Amino acid sequence: MAYKDSNAERTTITRSIKELEVSTGNVYETISVLSKRSNQINVEMKEELNQKLDEFATSTDNLEEIFENREQIEVSRYYERLPKSGAIAIQELEQEKLFWKAPETEATSEEE
């Protein structure tokens, strides 16, 4: 996925709202777009992590396997180190890789 190659910030940084809203023209629409994209990225990451962790699932676990499964721990740590989905969404918006379509408002006249 694209989030694996992302070089988005892993920590919180200060951003200019005016720069973020340039692409949409409205700060609230920008936040809505970023929120929806962030949720999409988060779902993709969670599904992939669950698929990888399912490989380690066994029907009979003993205490040694639970505490000493190093591969499972490494997979979990890898996903913890990835940038957060919100930071990836902001980076996509800044690099103009994000596409959204606003619903058209239809004007209906009551004169008909």
Whether residue 23 is predicted with pLDDT greater than 80 in this model: the reply is: yes
Q: Tell me, what's the pLDDT at 111?
A: 43
What mean pLDDT, rounded, does the chain reach?
80
What pLDDT, in 10s, does the model give residues 61-94? 566 555 667 888 888 888 888 898 999 999 899 8
Residues making up the chain, counted from first to last: 112
Q: What is the pTM of this model?
A: 0.75
Closest CA relative to residue 37, chosen from 81, 103, 87, 1: 87
Domain ranges of the chain: 22-94
Q: Tell me, what's the pLDDT at 2?
A: 64
Q: How far apart are CA 9 and CA 88, in angstroms?
A: 8
Q: Tell me, what's the pLDDT at 59?
A: 62
Q: What Rg do the C-alpha atoms of the chain give, in angstroms? A: 20
